A and B are shown apart, each in its own frame.
Chain A
Amino acid sequence: MIPLSWYLILAAGLFSIGLFGVLARRNAVAILLGVELMLNAININLVAFWRYGEVSTMAGQVFTIIVFAVAAAEVAVGLALVISVYRRRNTVVAEELDLLKW
């Protein structure tokens, strides 16, 4: 069987790519995509730890499914916000959306 660390390395890589996307991309939709990548990296971790740990309890799988549900809801809200912002400001570039500055 493939050792656990491989899965973890995969998840870490995926997470880093997501994080980079969140921090570096200018497009708000791309930032959302990055967030989704980070969530799924976590999902891999959860499932991997379940598989290599106590198999009889299904905690890892249940957590993963909850994260899916939350992520789906989040994306729905996030995309709605992006569309709303685009309608008002005619842009989805994160740098230009600086209304919260002092």
Chain B
Amino acid sequence: MTHELVTKLVWFIPLPPLLAFALIVLFTNKSKALSHTVAISAAFLSWLGSMIIFWNALKVEEFGKEPFAASIPWLPTGNTWLKIGVLIDPLSAAVLFFVAWTVLMIFIYSVGYHNYGQPAGDHDHAGLPPHGATVHGHAVPSVEPMYSRFFAFIGLFAFGMYTLVVSDNLLTLFVGWEIMGLCSYLLIGFWFGKPSARNAAVKAFMTTRIGDVFMLIGIAFLYHATGTLSYREIFTEETLHVLSTVPSGVFGLSAAGFIAILLFIGTIGKSAQFPLHVWLPDAMEGPTPVSAMIHAATMVSAGVYAVIRMFPLLSAGWHEGAPLTPEMTFVAVIGAFTAIFAATIAVAQNDIKRVLAYSTISQLGFMIAALGIGAYIAAVFHLITHAFFKALLFLGSGSVIHGMEHGVLHTGNHSIDPQDMFNMGGLRRKMPVTFWTFLIGGFALSGFPVLTAGFWSKDEILADAFINGHMAVFVTLAVAAFMTAFYTMRQITLTFLGEARTKEAEHASENKWTMTAPLVVLSVFAIGYGWVGIPEHFPLLGGLVPNWIHEFVGGTLAEHPPVLEFSIWPLLTSLVVALGGLGLGWLYYRNVKSAKEDIFQISFLKNKYYFDELYQAVFIKPAVWISEVFVSQWMDKGFIDGILHVFGPATGGLGSFIRDKFDLPVVNQFIGDGSANATYWLGKNLRPIQTGRIQQYLILSLILIVVIGGLLFTLLVRSA
């Protein structure tokens, strides 16, 4: 395929899911089979196109210098145009690759997850999770009542993500970003019959909105400063140089730094970084494919992707080896802090999905921290590997929950929470495929040495931090990595190892192929994707496989980042934290039988450092107070209604006064009745002269003529 043809193809990548959304919403929503066929076909088309583009990108030498790029004028703004365009450079090609795979897998998985092919529930309602149906006296899972709607939503979601990835400017990136924000709201609140899901949806939407506002300000500032939003026009040497030397007037930052921080705040919201991390764990209220979609493949990755995209801006005025600029320090601190902060919370969570949610926050912190210290390649690498293994883990946890729900249906005891890990145990025998794939995903997340993808990407971040001397970041991330391994092993041990702790876990069963096949595919990537990024100087393995990720993605930047030297210390650290964490987790949790025995059930951690309560007290309560008490009670009912209560009676009083003192006596009596009376009186008194005798009339006429004649004579003739 020629360069131009591939570039044309890029335009069409986001369209199939959008079309699927429209088709499902407008036409096929009555038919579940047709709806998922449409959605999956669309995902497949986008996947196919993405693979073709990726393959062609690989074949171009120096792809960073000649990306697939095209743009057309879109919105006129005075003398210039805002352009809409597509850009596939090495970075977006790599991102497109993992997005296409994970999205397709999640779409397929959703078919099984929502019990396609099962009967409709006995008393299921739209907006509530299906409760199961009875067939021949047996309880069986029932199909999701809003099956078609789900596929419509995730189709729109996929459209948002593809738009964001292929766009060549911040404006369309922001459009995709917001579409995903909307979809995450719709999908988290998919089971809107549950109050918790409703609240979580609102919380996610509001929290990300805070970040988005700052991001929009950043975009506006950038447009004001440069007159363009296109990456390729901003990331030129001159523009960046100007931006990095012009002061912004805020905190002594350069314009570039200030814009980068504003855009980064958007990422803090979208990628759930501290302090806007609170929405993500609650987002677990949505169906599991949504969790995978939001937390692995798309939305949170989009946040990190935006920072990676803006890296030239963030690092403007900085060069490899120099001390970090204030804005980079800010990013690094937020990332590193989030990484360790979320990891500590994850240790104390019992809900299988919540552990993963905090783990996601923590891993995103790794990437953000990596970007903060300038480890561009490592961040991209970890973003991609994380997307694969975290999607795998989320889908795996969904599979576990689904299996547990099967057990719950079997025993009929609905008081058992199928998501609580302490109700599980021994699932490895019941759900072998889920177990092995989850194990692979978990080991990748922990950074199990050499085999898994997570090891290579995490090691790269640690190595970069160590070699460039960012010891604080290095130590923080190493501790966070240790905790990651620990809580991952805790999760695996509690869920799959040992013996079943409840009857429900005993009766759990493996799921259909639509759910397990995506797990298998993703676990291939969770292992294999690490091999494309093995550092050149790594002992024994280095150089066997070329360090593709470094060569390829590094080409995105104007200057190819230098190859890191090898140092044994970060490698040792990686090995120790990964194996140590996994080992300790296994040693401790194989003996823990219930939540009471778990020493990490510290209420401080279990309650997420009371951040929800803190925000409740600091932001939400005052906001509610302002609206309910200040605005509603005082301003509206007191002040404004008070004014109205003064004006109302006052106007009424004035009205009655005018009526009593003017209208009734003057207008009605004097003018109205008076004129009638006067006319009546006049008529009555003039009546007698109407005698009917012609000669009397004539005499009167004569007299009148004489009088008028006399008057005329005196007045006109005599006076003349």
Interface residues of A (CB under 8 A from B): 19, 22-24, 31, 94-95, 97-102
Contact = CB atoms under 8 A, between A and B. Distances in A.
Interface string B628-667: 0000000000000000000000000000000000000000
A102 B693 contact: no
A101 B693 CA distance: 7
B435 to A, nearest CB: 121
Nearest to B683: A102
Instruction: For the complex of A and B, list the 3 residue pairs with the smallest distance between their C-beta atoms, beginning with the closest.
Output: A101-B692, A98-B692, A100-B692
Contacts of A22: 695, 698
A31 B687 CA distance: 26
B692 A94 contact: no
Contacts of A99: 692
A94 B690 contact: no
16 contacts: A22-B698, A23-B699, A23-B702, A31-B695, A94-B693, A94-B694, A94-B695, A95-B693, A95-B695, A97-B692, A97-B694, A98-B691, A98-B692, A101-B693, A102-B687, A102-B690
Interface of B: 687, 690-695, 698-699, 702
B698 to A, nearest CB: 6
Contacts, number: 30
Contacts of B698: 22-23
A97 to B, nearest CB: 7
B324 to A, nearest CB: 115
Contacts of A24: 695
Counting chain B CB atoms within 10 Å of each CB, the highest count among A24, A99, A101 belongs to A101
A9 B690 CA distance: 35
Contacts of B691: 98, 101
A19 B705 CA distance: 13
A23 B702 CA distance: 10
A26 to B, nearest CB: 8
A102 B693 CA distance: 11
B696 to A, nearest CB: 9
Contacts of B694: 31, 94, 97
Contacts of B699: 23
Nearest to B699: A23
A57 to B, nearest CB: 28
A94 B691 CA distance: 12
Contacts of B702: 19, 23
Nearest to B688: A102
B376 to A, nearest CB: 115
Given A23-B699, A94-B694, 9 more contacts: A94-B695, A95-B695, A97-B692, A98-B691, A99-B692, A100-B692, A101-B690, A102-B690, A102-B692
Contacts of A94: 693-695
A19 B702 CA distance: 10
A19 to B, nearest CB: 8
Contacts of A100: 690, 692
Nearest to B697: A100
A102 B698 CA distance: 17
A98 B702 CA distance: 20
Contacts of A97: 692, 694
A23 B695 contact: yes
Nearest to A25: B695
B690 to A, nearest CB: 5
Nearest to A19: B702
Contacts of B687: 102
A23 B693 CA distance: 11
A98 B693 contact: yes
Nearest to A96: B693
Nearest to B698: A23
B704 to A, nearest CB: 14
A102 B691 CA distance: 7
Contacts of B692: 97-102
Contacts of A19: 702
B499 to A, nearest CB: 124
B127 to A, nearest CB: 88
Nearest to A22: B698
A94 B694 CA distance: 7
A48 to B, nearest CB: 21
A35 B690 CA distance: 23
